Amino acid sequence: MRTVCILGSTGSIGQNTLDVIRRHPDKYRVHSLVAHRRVETIYAQCLEFRPQYALMSDPDAAAALSQKLKSTDIQVEVLSGLTDSEGLVSSSNVDIVMAAIVGAAGLLPTLAAVKAGKQVLLANKEALVMSGALFMDAAREYQAKILPIDSEHNAIFQSLSTSVQSGEQSPIDAGIQKLLLTGSGGPFLHTPLEQFPELSVQQAVAHPNWSMGQKISVDSATMMNKGLEFIEARWLFDVQPNDIQVVIHPQSMIHSMVQYVDGSVIAQLGQPDMRTPIAYGLAYPERIEAGVAPLDFTKMLDFTFTQPEQARFPCLYLAIEACCLGQAASTVLNAANEIAVEAFLQQQIKFTDIAIIVEQTLTQQSLPDIQCIDDVLSVDAQARLLASQLRDQKAI
Ligand code: NAD
Ligand code: MG
């Protein structure tokens, strides 16, 4: 029996994780649930999974959850404030941590799990984008096992030999030539460019293949998501930007590929369903049933690949540029994007302003050398301030 702490349990990844766990009560027990403020959802999760702890980062939500649990017979200790989650993930009673808080808020709890040497199922790509080498160095130092949950990185991981997976052999020594990162192109792959300034939130979050949280859905529409994944791949697999290529594959069946020097390409395929990578991460190196329907190749009509257009997806190219510039630029890019996407979701700025705010923040923000997490937090805070000013100038 392995025990699991879920950071971000009420979100899309959190709920999918619980769905896989629900199928294997003999293998996994939920130790703790951490979320922001969706009381009804976490309350239902507490009733079903009976964790020892439930933490809400919002104090009012924590109080409301406590109150609701009082009228039940279940013993869940309710905690409040995200800082306490660092203690939860480090508990000796936790084997596996699912890192699925969205955005920068997930950085410190995820890092705490890494420093506690846990099996870390990494969905929170922003944490790695913000901290890159520091994050991976900590994983090595504290012997944490990082298992990528982002479907692309999970696909790449599955396409590697065990010696590369474990870090014993470098990708170059293993004959890897390129990582081919696939992306669907999102809802606006074929939308005429002149319509872009007027695209609505509703249109942007309507992803053709995947059902996800709001922030990552907007990131998929701008393809900033693929840009963040580019940076994520650079660190997770210890390769250079030149070794990664983004390919549009609208059917989302191939989740990414690894090209080897002998001409072989190894790909992982499956339904666009996050329960596959989640089950892989939970059971690694074994396999468990995930509730996902098998692919039916006779029903696949098209299998196409194209290059992403720069004019359509400027955010992708800004992210690749930031990756080449280094850590501070990647941290700034992520911070500015979080501010801009939130403003777009609140209908304060236009869809096309997202890329403009990110680009201007990157150009105007100084990019110091990053040595430690405090440096990351300070660059992140400065970039948020600048991006917020730029947002206010744009406000509709
Ligand atoms: P979501 O918006 O559905 O859920 C986010 C979760 O984070 C919620 O449980 C929320 O309560 C929690 N949260 C947010 N702010 C918090 C805070 N300050 N303190 C504590 N908890 C907080 O997002 P999602 O789609 O599940 O994505 C989660 C992460 O996984 C993101 O980093 C995303 O990029 C990544 N990811 C998601 C998918 C997907 O299919 N949804 C795929 C790949 C990667
Ligand atoms: Mg992904």
Architecture of domain 170-269+294-394: Orthogonal Bundle (1.10)
150 lines ligand 1 (CB under 6 A): yes
Q: Which of 267, 247, 243 is nearest to 255 (CA)?
A: 267
* Cβ proximity of 198 and 350 under 8 Å: yes
Output the residue whose Cα is nearest ligand 1's atom 32: 124
Instruction: List pLDDT tens digits, range 85-115.
Output: 999 999 999 999 999 999 999 999 999 999 9
341 lines ligand 1 (CB under 6 A): no
* Cβ proximity of 328 and 379 under 8 Å: yes
Architecture of domain 2-148: 3-Layer(aba) Sandwich (3.40)
Output the residue whose Cα is nearest ligand 1's atom 25: 213
* Cβ proximity of 275 and 281 under 8 Å: no
Longest Cα–Cα distance of the chain, Å, equals: 64
Q: What is the per-residue pLDDT for 300?
A: 86
* Cβ proximity of 79 and 65 under 8 Å: no
pTM above 0.85? yes
Q: What is the per-residue pLDDT for 202?
A: 97
Domain residue limits, the chain: 2-148, 170-269+294-394
Q: What is the per-residue pLDDT for 181?
A: 98
Low-confidence ranges of the chain (pLDDT < 70): none
Q: What is the per-residue pLDDT for 209?
A: 87
**Using alpha carbons only, what angle is made at residue 231 by residues 346 and 262, rounded to the nearest 5 degrees?**
140
11 lines ligand 1 (CB under 6 A): yes
* Cβ proximity of 45 and 10 under 8 Å: yes
Output the residue whose Cα is nearest ligand 1's atom 9: 8
Q: Atom of ligand 1 at shortest distance to CA of 212?
A: 41
Q: What is the per-residue pLDDT for 301?
A: 84
